[in-house]
Amino acid sequence: MLIVTQRQQPDSPTMPVGAEAQIAHKLRSFYLSIESEPVPQQFLDLLEKLDDAERLSELQLEDGDR
């Protein structure tokens, strides 16, 4: 008969019962509050610049293959 037990690492702290659920609930609430915030225009502008640079790079690669 094989008995499998969970072993904790000697240096790992133990978490009180229910603490993981409380942490998960608080993280979920925090995420939902941030998720509803609008994306800053400065960030959208930066993403657009990155898209433009990527398109330009792809065009230059295509021109180099000809």
Q: What is the pLDDT of residue 16?
A: 73
Report the alpha-carbon distance of residue 24 to residue 32 in Å, rounded: 12
* pLDDT tens-digit profile, the chain (66 residues): 556 555 555 565 676 778 899 999 999 999 999 988 999 999 999 999 999 999 999 988 888 766
Report the alpha-carbon distance of residue 24 to residue 30 in Å, rounded: 10
Nearest of 34, 53, 33, 37 to residue 45 by alpha carbon: 53
Taking a C-beta distance cutoff of 8 angstroms, is the pair 48, 42 a contact? no
Q: What is the pLDDT of residue 2?
A: 56
Q: What is the pLDDT of residue 37?
A: 92
The structure tokens listed for 16 are 């009180």
Q: What is the pLDDT of residue 8?
A: 54
